[in-house]
Amino acid sequence: MLSSSELNLGLIGQKLSHSFSKQYFLENYGIATYSLIELPAIIELPSAISRLHLDGFNVTIPYKREIIPLLNDIDPIAKEIGAVNTVVVKRIHRQDSQWQNKTEQIRLIGYNTDAPAFLETLQPQLEPHHHKALILGTGGASLAVSWALRQLGIEYRFVSRTPHDHFISYDAARELLIKDDFSIIINATPVGMYPNCEASPWPFPELLNRHHLCYDLIYNPSPTLFLKEAESRGAKTLNGLAMLHLQADLALKIWNTSR
């Protein structure tokens, strides 16, 4: 088993200038290497694994779902969620007894630590009237959020700028906020993330009040415009930094115990 200080880890995504993951792992765990790996396409992942000799990596936008076909195995919870944010790289070395040739087979195993981290950080903030939620976004992060809400018995709707049978529009979400008791709003989109800090994913801040709980998975900047507007109207607010730290802790435990 490799110790934390021997692990070569990283984060894959398309744009990673906003990420605090490298800083967190290096400062708190003394990881040997934690690389920020910007991939223009997921097809470039195998060469990155080989080039950096990765033992594991995190996954962020937009690859949490796209990576699944590249995996050799997937944890049952991650399979249920339909998104992966943590991958273990296993290397199996074989030697041909006749020719004395050594070969290396790489296997990728996917997990999701976003979902339990989101659940654990949301639960202490809930009040009795917080039992219906709007999830802004329909990507991999939103799937982790929806899994956690199901565990908590919270009804939810996905909100999308391109609505269809399973996603409602922002105008429909506005009506739910006015007419029904949807008192939780969760931003699972990248809107408002550094460097585009002057954008907000929620176009109706005037509807927010002290009964609402607004959770933005974005942690850079802190607070986001969404949370600033929510807090100014008395809503309870929470950003994604605690979730980032907790999902990272869970990921490291997986990497350490799966060697």
pLDDT in tens, 5-61: 689 999 999 999 999 999 999 999 888 799 999 999 999 999 999 999 999 999 999
| pLDDT value for 97 | 59
φ, ψ of residue 162 to 5 degrees: the values are -125, 75
- What is the set of active-site residues? 64
Hey, do 4-113+247-257 and 115-243 end up sharing a CATH topology, with the first three levels equal?
Answer: yes
Which residue type occupies 165?
A: D
**pLDDT score for 92:** 82
Please report which residue ranges of the chain form alpha helices under DSSP H. 21-29, 45-52, 76-81, 114-122, 140-151, 170-179, 225-232, 241-257
Please state the pTM of the whole predicted model. 0.93
Q: What is the pLDDT of residue 1?
A: 45
- For the chain, which ranges sit under pLDDT 70? 1-3, 5, 93-103
The partner residues of 109 in beta bridges, in order of sequence, read 73, 88
* Domain 4-113+247-257 CATH (choose: 3.40.50.10860, 3.40.50.10240, 3.40.50.720, 3.30.930.10): 3.40.50.10860
Kindly list the domain boundaries of the chain, sorted by start residue.
Answer: 4-113+247-257, 115-243
Q: In CATH, which of 1.10.3720.10, 2.60.120.380, 3.60.10.10, 3.40.50.720 is domain 115-243? A: 3.40.50.720
